[in-house]
Structure 1
Amino acid sequence: MGSEGSAPVVVPRNFRLLEELERGEKGIGDGTVSYGMDDADDIYMRSWTGTIIGPPNTVHEGRIYQLKLFCDTDYPDKPPTVRFQARVNMTCVNQETGMVDPRRFPMLGNWKREHTMEDILISLKKEMSTPQNRRLHQPHEGNDDQRVEQKGLAARCVVM
């Protein structure tokens, strides 16, 4: 084995994701962002759901945003793909797909291995408070405008 000097320790992908899962399950920060795995049986830990509660004094106040985060096998070396489940009007989000555009969202565009899903959610919440996003007209919440996976006709359940 050669002498590696002071090379940084690279945490393997699964250890990193297990750390993030544990942190997400404990609850983080002030409780306005949260995340967890979609499928506990997914041994590759790829599919995650995130939640952001819209920041006060913005058009997002009182809204709860669900996001899908997909960590492919190259995560954390490459960023996850991030998609809002409901329509949201933000400068860094594609209006048709709900995808967060890495060219317009610096955390994804200038991804660093140290960044986490928690960092992404906190940064998106901060983005909602920026001058260019805080007052943007938002789509109606009440019209069940949720995006649905395109697997034939998806049933929509309403809890009364």
Structure 2
Amino acid sequence: MTLKTSLKIIIPRNFRLLEELERGEKGIGDGTVSYGMDDADDIYMRSWTGTIIGPPNTVHEGRIYQLKLFCDTDYPDKPPTVRFQARVNMTCVNQETGMVDPRRFPMLGNWKREHTMEDILISLKKEMSTPQNRRLHQPHEGNDDQRVEQKGLAARCVVM
């Protein structure tokens, strides 16, 4: 008589993030997607920066998009929050905040523990190539078109 059991090993959060960091530092695929930690001294490994180089034959071609990914303490059980640093016109991105909307971006909306930050960036790059996003007019690059919270930054500085 044989007894079949399925054991699922759950990798602790920090080990998982260390694996992702190592993979990000080695470089990914063709080099059009990359990511790493914002602060090497952050022992909780929460704040990350991602980069996507826009795919060819789209309005995104040749553009470099910086994103912020925030992995709260419940990552990887819950997805990170993902925000584009500069304006981008995509159906899954809030135009005012740059946040990727989980209701419009299936990878975040149907999150699985096995997904990684690399998967998110690759999926966003693929999303740029979809028929609904590949030809959408994009804001001009540069400081004049930065989001509201970045425009207001200079106004908050006070010289004494």
TM-score (norm 1): 0.90
Q: Is the 8 A contact 1:148 1:154 kept in 2?
A: no
Deviation, 1:145, is: 2.5
Shift of 1:142: 3.3
Residue-by-residue CA offset, 1:58-111 (whole Å, 9 max, x unaligned): 000000000000000000000000000000000000000000000000000000
Number of the residue aligned with 1:137: 137
Q: CA 1:154 to 1:11, structure 2 compared with 1: closer, same or farther past 3 Å? A: farther
SS at match of 1:43: coil
What is the distance in 2 between the residues matched to 1:63 and 1:74?
A: 32
Distance in 2 (CA, whole Å) between partners of 1:152 and 1:146 is 10
Residue 155 of structure 1 and its aligned partner are, at CA, apart by 9.8
- Give the RMSD, CA atoms, in angstroms: 4.4
The residue that corresponds to 1:99 in the other structure is 99
SS in 1 for 2:154: coil
Q: Distance in 2 between matches of 1:60 and 1:130?
A: 11
Bigger Rg, structure 1 or 2: 2
User: What's the offset of the Cα at 1:158?
Assistant: 21
Query: Whole-Å Cα distance in 2 between the matches of residues 16 and 145 of structure 1?
Result: 36
- The alpha-carbon distance between structure 1 residues 15 and 110, as it changes in their structure 2 partners (threshold 3 A), is same
Aligned partners of 1:159 and 1:28: how far apart in 2? 44
Distance 2:147 2:4 in 1: 49
Per-residue deviation, 1:144: 4.0
Q: Distance in 2 between matches of 1:159 and 1:106?
A: 46
Task: Number of aligned residue pairs: give it.
Answer: 160
2:96–2:148 CA contact under 8 A, matched in 1: no
Distance 1:69 1:62, change over 3 A: same
Q: Percent identity at matched positions?
A: 94
Q: For the structure 1 residues 36 and 159, does the alpha-carbon distance in structure 2 shift closer, same or farther, using more than 3 Å as the test?
A: farther
Question: How far did residue 147 of structure 1 move?
Answer: 4.1
The answer for unaligned runs of 5 or more in structure 1 is none
Per-residue Cα deviation, 1:6-60 (whole angstroms, up to 9, x for no partner):
2200000000000000000000110000000000010000000000000000000
Q: Secondary structure at the match of 1:62?
A: coil
| Paired position in structure 2 for 1:62 | 62
Q: Higher helix fraction: Structure 1 or Structure 2?
A: 2
Q: Tell me how far apart the structure 2 counterparts of residues 126 and 158 of structure 1 sit (CA, whole Å).
A: 43
